[in-house]
Amino acid sequence: MTGTRPETDAALDAASWAAGERYDVHDAVDTLVMDPGFVLRLAGDARYGRPGPRGHRTMPHRGEYELASGELWVRLIVDTTDFRTRPAHIWRPADRAGLADELVALEQAGEPAIVAWVRANGFVGVRADSRERSESVEEIGLALRYLASARAILRAIQDLAGAELRAEVERQMTYEPGFLTEVQSDPDHQPMAGRNLARRYGLEVPANASWSGAGAYVQALHCLGAVLAGPMERLLKVSAHVAPTRDGMRLQGSILAIGPLATAYQQTLDEASWPAITYSGSIAHISWRAPRRCGHCGLTFRPARRDQHWCGQRCRWAHSAERRRAAKAGGSGSLAASGALLG
């Protein structure tokens, strides 16, 4: 069972995205707004010129324009391609394995990397509009930071347990250290205690049941759903929720938009559909058998063990070979630099 609906997967698999031939970058003014879900974002209607003589627009200059309350300067990327004479480069985001992690790394690299990526691939798609003609570096970075936080919690669910898992979730959610442990120890009064969250999502856990550390996973899944829900509903017309299954619960959702960012969220939802929290008899436990994506080729497979990240030996060997080549290239560069210094 994957995290998205079949019709959603089919729509995204068939979706293409356009990259123009020319993108200009210049100063503009945008406005900070707060969503009903208390998600801070840029309005996305950056003003990059004022009406001038004969209808032409003049660019605002930082030394001449006085910002109003809530306004800020942004670096606006504008598609100036003349599509009447220059055809766009068309590509399919769904064909690019690891796109979500690529976008997270892009946010961390800063403005030059973001502009270079847009010039090569088109806009990121923060409004999921294939006809978009401008996006600012700042709104792209803000959208990708939400994605980065979601993927950090996802990796924590996959790789950590207990106190370590709670600590990483607290860091990503900007909770006070120890908050999730504190609420877990008071299930009679705290709605975010693991047992109470499980009951909220349709999994009735008897008071005498053996929880075996599953509370941390339930809390983490709940927080992952919260991190995904706001930005996705606003930017991508997406829903993400923890849903009951026949014998437990798991995170799932649906996407009704296209574009690189939408595809990155689809990949995240697919990966977030495991592990599943299951309940049998009087024991709540974690199932690691739900499908996940191969870390090398991107195909979905059902793992045989918790730490299996590749669909088979061929991808595992290919990944190991890539790491060896990267290490060898790094070592050669170090030796060359040392030789230059000695020479």
Per residue in 155-178, pLDDT (tens digit) is: 898 888 889 999 999 999 999 999
148-154: Cβ within 8 A, 24+ apart = 148/104, 148/107, 148/108, 149/227, 150/224, 150/227, 150/228, 150/265, 150/268, 151/100, 151/101, 151/104, 151/268, 153/220, 153/223, 153/224, 153/227, 154/224, 154/268, 154/271, 154/272
Determine what percent of the chain is predicted with pLDDT higher than 70. Answer: 64
Whether 240 has a pLDDT exceeding 60, the answer reads yes
Residue 38 inside a domain? The answer is: no
Q: Specify which residues 23 forms β-bridges with.
A: 79
- Asked if residue 65 belongs to a domain, the reply is no
Question: Would you state the structure tokens that stand for residue 226, as one six-digit string?
Answer: 């919260």
Matching residue, tokens 């399919």: 92
Out of 33-37, 42-46, 53-57, 306-310, least confident range:
53-57
User: Which residue range is the domain that position 204 belongs to?
Assistant: 1-23+87-310
Mean pLDDT of 197-214: 68
Q: Is residue 161 part of a domain?
A: yes
Higher pLDDT, residue 251 or 30: 30
SS3 for 270?
Answer: helix
Q: Residue 232: helix, strand or coil by DSSP?
A: helix
Question: Are 74 and 139 a contacting pair, CB within 8 Å?
Answer: yes
Segment 268-290, tens digit of pLDDT: 877 776 555 555 544 445 555 55
> Phi and psi for 19 in degrees, rounded to 5?
-115, 125
Q: Is residue 197 part of a domain?
A: yes
Residue 73 lies in a domain: no
pLDDT at 126 over 70: yes
**How many of the other CB atoms lie within 10 Å of CB of 258?**
23
Question: Which residues lie across from 292 on neighbouring strands?
Answer: 301
Average confidence (pLDDT) over 315-325: 85
- Indicate whether 206 pLDDT > 80: no
Query: What pLDDT is stored for residue 283 in this prediction?
Result: 47
237 domain-assigned: yes
Q: Give pTM, 2 decimals.
A: 0.70
Residue 28: what are its φ and ψ, rounded to 5°?
A: -150, 175
Report the alpha-carbon distance of residue 102 to residue 141 in Å, rounded: 13
In a domain, 338, yes or no: no
* Cβ partners under 8 Å of residue 112, min gap 6: none
Domain count, the chain: 1
In a domain, 281, yes or no: yes
